[in-house]
Structures are given as structure tokens and as C-alpha cells.
Amino acid sequence: MSYYQPALLLCKYNLQNVVGRYAVRLFRKTEKVSCDNGGLQSMNAVHQPKKKGPVPVNETEIGELVNVSRLKEDLQKGFDQLKSDYMKHLSLRSASGSIENLQVNFEGETYTLQEIAQIGRKGSQLIVVNLSGFPTVMKDVLKAINDSGMGLNPQQDGTTIFIPVPKVTKEYRESLAKNAKILFQKFKDHCRDIQNKYIREVKKKEKEVSSDLAHSVQQQIHSMAELYVSEGEKVMIDKQNELLGKD
């Protein structure tokens, strides 16, 4: 049977002027119609749910339940970190240019690599990191290098780490572009964590305020986080285009 099935719809267009004239139209089996106001309308078209846009943000209203300045500061901090990581670690010369400032977390403190290691080079294609003066931080340094997004492949030999500097090939560009997405996902997770933290604050005050206010503030906090995620995604796309040589 054909996908379309004839259906004779007896709907008068206008009883005053067109008496006895009827409309004939083909509809899909599942489509409903109405004959309101003398015209044919597809009920599927009329009753399509409207897509919800982002909830408008009213900082004054949010401020009734949480510290808005601190919320924005927490979200902005993650955004600034994303841009900093992209600038320091995701450029085609990042391996030799920014390894000194690579951040290493050790026992709750953050150090730059050059603060805890001797960094040298053998030619233009090999970086040598000497940790003989601070060997206990080896594991954390290796983790920092692997998580940096620079596409490096460190090799440990005792208290020394050898880091080959990758040649700028198509594969290397694609690897960096992939790492840009990984760093963005970390930023996105950061925004979700901040969002959930402040929503929990609101929920603790639900009994003290109207349910409408509590619900509205939660939705607005979500909207603020999404705005930062959206901006971060734009930065990621620009960085990926730069790394891949696209306009």
C-alpha cells in the first residue's frame, strides 16, 4: 500500500459564500486535521511543541539566594584557564616553547616544571628533564606532561625524562586538535561542577523561599554555566582551525 492514503475531508471553506463545496486532500495515515474557521489545518503542524530557548539571567534575582560575583568568578576562572592552556600548550611550537612553565601538582601544591627540574636540550628534537634533585616528584611530572595536551611522549630513564619534540606533520596537527577537544571537555566538566555546587546551595534554602524563586534561580544558574560552555566551545573551534591550518 502507498505511504499516502487518500482521505476525503468534507470541510466547507465558507458557508456564506461557498455552499456545498468541499475540500479533498491527501494526508499521511497518521496526520490529524482540523476544520476550524472554515479552513483545513494539519493538527501536527498546529500542535508542534515550541523549542525552549535559554532562560534569561537576572543577576539580582540569583543574588537573593547565592553570591553572584563568586559564581561568575568561578566560571570565569575555568574559562581563563582553558584559554591559557590553549595558548601555552597547543601551538605548533609548544613542546619546545612552554615546557618550562608546565604546571605540576605535587602534595597539594602547584609548581612550574622549571622550579623543580633542570631542563635542557639535545639538538632541536629532544628535551631533557633532570629530576635528580627532586626524584619523588617523577610520577607527578610524567602525569603533567601526559595530561598537558601537547601531544608529547615522555620516556623515563632513572631520574631523567627524555621528551622527543614531534615534527609538525598532518598527524601531529590532528593530534593537537584532538587534545583541544579534551581540554574543552575538562572545562565543560568544570562548569558543570560549579553549576551543581551553586544549585546545591539553592536547594538548601528551598524551605526559606518560594518554590517558584528557587526553581527560577536554579534554571538561571544552569543558563549562566551554559553561556560559558558555549564561549569555550567557540574558543576550541578557533584553536582547532588554527592547528589544522583552516581559515
The set of residues, in sequence order, having a beta carbon less than 8 Å from that of 4 and lying 6+ positions away, is 26, 27, 28
> Mutual orientation of helices 211-244 and 170-204 as an angle, nearest 10°?
170
Model pLDDT, residue 41:
44
Model pLDDT, residue 2:
42
- Report CA-CA distances (Å) from 86 to 7, 116, 141, 194, 243: 61, 23, 19, 21, 11
Q: Is the dihedral of CA 103, 105, 111, 117 positive or negative?
A: negative
Q: Which three cell numbers stand for residue 175?
A: 593530534
The pTM for the full model equals 0.61
59-90+169-244 and 93-164 in the same fold = no
Give yes or no for a contact between 100 and 113, defined as CB atoms under 8 angstroms apart.
Answer: yes
Model pLDDT, residue 102:
85
Architecture of domain 59-90+169-244: Orthogonal Bundle (1.10)
Domain residue ranges of the chain, discontinuous segments joined by +: 59-90+169-244, 93-164
State CA 218 to chain mean position distance: 19
b/e map of 56-74 (b: 16 or more CB within 10 Å)?
eeeeeebeebbebeebeeb
Give yes or no for a contact between 11 and 21, defined as CB atoms under 8 angstroms apart.
Answer: no
Model pLDDT, residue 139:
94
CATH 2.40.440.10 describes domain 93-164: no
- The SS3 call for residue 68 is helix
Q: Which of 132, 139, 129, 142 is nearest to 100 (CA)?
A: 129
pLDDT values of the chain reduced to their tens digit, one per residue, 247 residues: 444 343 333 343 343 443 443 333 333 333 444 444 444 444 444 444 455 667 889 999 999 999 999 999 999 999 999 999 898 778 766 555 578 888 899 988 999 999 999 998 887 789 999 999 989 999 999 999 988 877 788 999 999 999 988 887 888 889 889 999 999 999 999 999 999 999 999 999 999 999 999 999 999 999 999 999 999 999 999 999 989 988 6
Model pLDDT, residue 168:
79
Model pLDDT, residue 149:
74
Model pLDDT, residue 247:
60
Number of H helices, E strands in the chain: 8, 10
